[in-house]
Amino acid sequence: MQFLNLTWLWGLTGLLIPIAIHLLSRKEGKVIRIGSIRHFEETSTRQFRNIRLNELVLLALRCLLITFVVLLLSGLSYTNSKSEDIKWMVMERGMKKEKDFKTLIDSLEQNGFELRWLEKDFPLLKDSSIITHKLNYGSLIESLKKVQAKQIVVLSYNYANRFKGKRTTLPNNIQWISKSPQPEKFTVSTTLFSSDSVLVRKGNSNGDRTMFANEAVGINSLTAQDKMLIQNQDTISILIASDSEFGYDKNIMIAALKAVDETLPCVLKIKSSDISKLNDDQADWIIWLSENAIPENMQTKNLAFNKKKFGNKIITLSDKGWLLTQRLDQENAIENNLTLQLASILLPKEQAQQTANKFDRRTLPEKELWSSAPSQIANTFVIAETNNAIPFLFALILVVLLAERIIAFKRNQ
């Protein structure tokens, strides 16, 4: 049982009132008139022996009535437990191979815990064919809250990219046990530079951070898997169209593009022209540095200056292309990572990004997982459905009140 307003329980002291009234009430005896009482002597019988509980049925009904009214005011609710003996151990992919948890897994299995995957619908451990990498810890916890189980133990790596949305609370019947994953080394991309050399972009991810590095190696030193990732260098032609007022902006833009060309495995063919001298030169990208509107025939793959404010981002996406939201100088180019932003829009690598996300091993610390500190695991856990008892109390009050009035009327009380 649960109470919304525990203060009202002090009202149970009101039970003393009907008890006191009934103790003090006695039926009037038959009056016998006598002429004199001088021949009567006082006995030693104590007076309180004549005080007795009168009309026990009425007393019980009136006590019940006060009790039900107090419970109604206190906001009584009750729990309807179901399937209290259900016990699960839910583990993330890879946890079964962790030596640190082998003893725990075996112990829980011997104590009647069902072994399940931390996946949608929580399939049994034998159903490993449906395991995926697309997890959302928050939504899985919400699903576990609906499982009316006595105890649930979750084994997880706490990957940062699997906590999405608002933080949720951890119920008392769920114990979340985490472990830092092993560092992961992986190949993001392999780009061909010449007939016998390639540039390999390697990634190294652990619980704290993910790092990337480029390494030029010979083709013969590659593994068979890395050879399957070999791609030719991207060649991108870029036309910078500017007017005289944007001469400094143009120099900053060219310097940023050259940094991209020297750092990433790509070939950038950069040309610049005054907007008054534009001809029919074709380019993969147009960078428009002028307060004049970009012509309609240049609306595909363009980065155009727009003096309107679009927040703090120096480059933002619009329905007609990309927008440069600020005039360029050395300070804001460095502060806003202009080179990185140009690289991300000129060389979008969806496959490389998916590979990096797949092997991302960064984790969140325990104190940042839940909106409130998770309760410690207790000896027993019961997750139950809470029901409001107010309608039942109303009905009981009416029944008891009716019965009390009928009996009191018949007995003239």
pLDDT for 90 equals: 92
Query: pLDDT (tens digit, 9 = 90+) per residue, 24-37?
Result: 765 555 566 666 66
Return the SS3 of 246. helix
Residue 28 corresponds to which tokens in the numbers above?
């009037």
Q: Which helix (H) or strand (E) holds 388?
A: strand 384-388
pLDDT for 88 equals: 92
Query: pLDDT (tens digit, 9 = 90+) per residue, 368-405?
Result: 888 764 444 333 333 344 567 788 888 888 988 888 88
pLDDT for 349 equals: 72
pLDDT for 250 equals: 93
- CB of 269 closer than 8 Å to CB of 235: yes
Bridge-based pairing of strands 197-205 and 230-232 is: unpaired
Residue 53 corresponds to which tokens in the numbers above?
């509980």
DSSP state of 115: E
Say which amino acid occupies 307: K
- CB of 175 closer than 8 Å to CB of 154: yes
Task: Give the chain's length.
Answer: 413
What is the spatial distance between Cα 125 and Cα 147, in angstroms, rounded to a whole number? 17
pLDDT for 83 equals: 46
Spatial neighbors of 410 by CB under 8 A, at least 6 apart, are none
What is the spatial distance between Cα 345 and Cα 207, in angstroms, rounded to a whole number? 28
Closest CA to 67 of 134, 8, 144, 22: 8
Can you say how many angstroms the Cα of residue 85 is from the centroid of all Cα atoms in its chain? 27
- CB of 304 closer than 8 Å to CB of 294: yes
pLDDT for 46 equals: 47
Q: In what order do the strands lie in the sheet with 230-232?
A: 210-218, 197-205, 184-192, 230-232
pLDDT for 35 equals: 60
Return the SS3 of 145. helix
| Helix/strand/coil percent split, the chain, to 5 | 35, 25, 40
What is the spatial distance between Cα 409 and Cα 413, in angstroms, rounded to a whole number? 6
What is the spatial distance between Cα 242 and Cα 288, in angstroms, rounded to a whole number? 6
DSSP state of 17: H
Return the SS3 of 11. helix
| C-alpha count within 13 angstroms, C-beta hemisphere, residue 255 | 13
Please tell me the pTM assigned to this model: 0.53
| C-alpha count within 13 angstroms, C-beta hemisphere, residue 181 | 25
DSSP codes of every residue in 187-227: EEEEEE-SSSEEEEEEEEE-SS-EEEEEEEEEGGGS-HHHH
Residue 9 corresponds to which tokens in the numbers above?
């329980």
Residues linked to residue 190 through DSSP beta bridges, in sequence order = 200, 230
Q: pLDDT tens, position by position, for the chain (413 residues)?
A: 677 777 888 888 888 888 887 777 655 555 666 666 655 565 554 444 444 455 788 888 888 888 888 888 888 776 655 445 789 999 988 888 888 888 888 898 898 899 999 988 888 887 765 556 578 888 888 889 888 888 999 999 999 888 888 888 888 889 999 888 889 998 888 888 777 888 888 899 999 999 988 888 888 888 888 888 888 888 889 999 999 899 999 999 999 999 988 877 788 999 998 988 887 667 889 999 998 888 877 756 888 898 776 667 788 888 778 899 889 999 989 988 899 889 888 877 777 778 888 888 999 887 788 876 444 433 333 334 456 778 888 888 898 888 888 888 887 76
